[in-house]
Structure formats: C-alpha cells, structure tokens
Amino acid sequence: MTSQSAATLRSRYAEQAATDLEDNRRLQQELAEKIKVLKQEEILLTGIMNLAERHEGPSSAPPAEPEQVQGEPVPAQRKQGTEGTAADKPSRPSAPVKKSPAKSTASKPAKAKSPQPLLGDVLLDLLRTYNEPRLAKELRDELLEKHPDRTPTPQVVRNTLEALVAKGRIRRHKQQRSVMYSPLESS
C-alpha cells in the first residue's frame, strides 16, 4: 500500500467517522426532544387519571379499560384499588418513583400561573361550537389558535378526547380511517 492510498483511506475513515458522529448527535437530540414530549404527556395523563379517579372513585372499572391500551398509568392507579392482575405487578414498583417527581414539577408551575381550565374542558367547549363531528387534528389546530399558551401534542389531544369518550361526555365517530368526535346532546 502506498502512502498516498493510505492517506486517502485515512481521510475516508475520518470523513465517515465525522458523519457518523454528526448523525449520532442529531439522533440523540431528536430522542431527547421525544423524551421531553413523552414526559409532558405522562404528566398530563397522570393528571387526567387523578381527576378521573377523584371524580369516579378508585374502584371504578370502566375508565380503566381505554387507558390499558395506552400504557403504564393504569397499574399505578390500580395500586390503590383491589383490581389488578399479575401482569400489572412488574410495572408497579417503578411507576410511583417516576411519577412522584413529575407531579411535583407539574404542580409547581401551575401554582405560579393563574389556574387554567382543564384541557378536556377546553376541548369540550370547542366541540360544542360545532354541529358536526370534528377531527382531533382540527380541534388541536383550533386550540393552538385560540389558546397560544397551551401547546399539547397531537397524541395528548387524542388521549384527552378518548378520556372524554370513556367518561361519556363526548361521542366517537368512525368514518373510513378517520376518527371524529362530537359532544353528546345532553352535555
């Protein structure tokens, strides 16, 4: 191997390493942002679960079914009730440790600001202004427009709407591959 080919090979390796390092840093930044969003969603969902539990009581089973599909918050809430399966037990020890700091950080900024209405109430008010069912995306866009201080992710809006469906406050409509929501007439 000549010194020129060795230098070319070395420069290729250096370029490849620099590119890989840049890609890795970009991926780390994207993952850090996703983690931040997921933590915000966890805080919101924990708040929704606490409010639902206070409103309906800890032994109320119907609201637990939709959240089982969504993930981890159900086992932490069931800890207070008697309903739980062996499959729920492995996630119990870690859930309170994660959620206790999230609750304290969520409640501190809320005390500093003037109390805002719950996201579910805001979405319900937006839904009541229409005579036809609305997509979650449309509701989120309108929410961001009318309440610029609130920036929930699309998933948080969908989860909140599904929680309202589970509570019987709104109705879900499926049209082909779209899911739309409308308030119940009696609401």
Whether residue 8 lies inside any domain: the answer is: no
Whether residue 142 lies inside any domain: the answer is: yes
Whether residue 136 lies inside any domain: the answer is: yes
Whether residue 43 lies inside any domain: the answer is: no
Share above pLDDT 70 across residues of the chain, in percent, rounded to a whole number: 68
**End-to-end Cα separation, the chain, in angstroms:** 81
- Domain membership of residue 172 as a residue range: 117-187
Share above pLDDT 90 across residues of the chain, in percent, rounded to a whole number: 41
pTM: 0.41
- Number of other residues whose CB lies within 10 A of the CB of residue 99: 21
Write the DSSP string, 86-154: TTTGGGTTHHHHHHHHHHHHHHHHHHHSPPPPPHHHHHHHHHHT-SS-EEHHHHHHHHHHH-TT----H
Whether residue 107 lies inside any domain: the answer is: no
Element at 178 (helix H, strand E): strand 178-183
- Residue 114 has a pLDDT of 62
- Number of other residues whose CB lies within 10 A of the CB of residue 112: 7
pLDDT tens column, 116-145: 889 999 999 999 998 889 999 999 999 999
- Number of other residues whose CB lies within 10 A of the CB of residue 126: 19
pLDDT of 164 above 70: yes
Cβ(25)–Cβ(49) below 8 Å = no
Whether residue 153 lies inside any domain: the answer is: yes
- Residue 156 has a pLDDT of 94
For the chain, the domain total comes to 1
What span, in angstroms and rounded, lies between the C-alpha atoms of 90 and 46? 19
- Residue 160 has a pLDDT of 94
- Residue 57 has a pLDDT of 59
CATH number at residue 139: 1.10.10.10
pLDDT of 93 above 70: no
- Number of other residues whose CB lies within 10 A of the CB of residue 134: 20
Q: How does residue 25 score in pLDDT terms, banded at 50, 70 and 90?
A: very high
User: In this structure, what token pair is assigned to residue 143?
Assistant: 């929410």
User: In this structure, what token pair is assigned to residue 165?
Assistant: 């469906």
pLDDT tens column, 38-73: 999 999 999 888 888 887 755 544 444 444 444 444
Whether residue 13 lies inside any domain: the answer is: no
Whether residue 58 lies inside any domain: the answer is: no
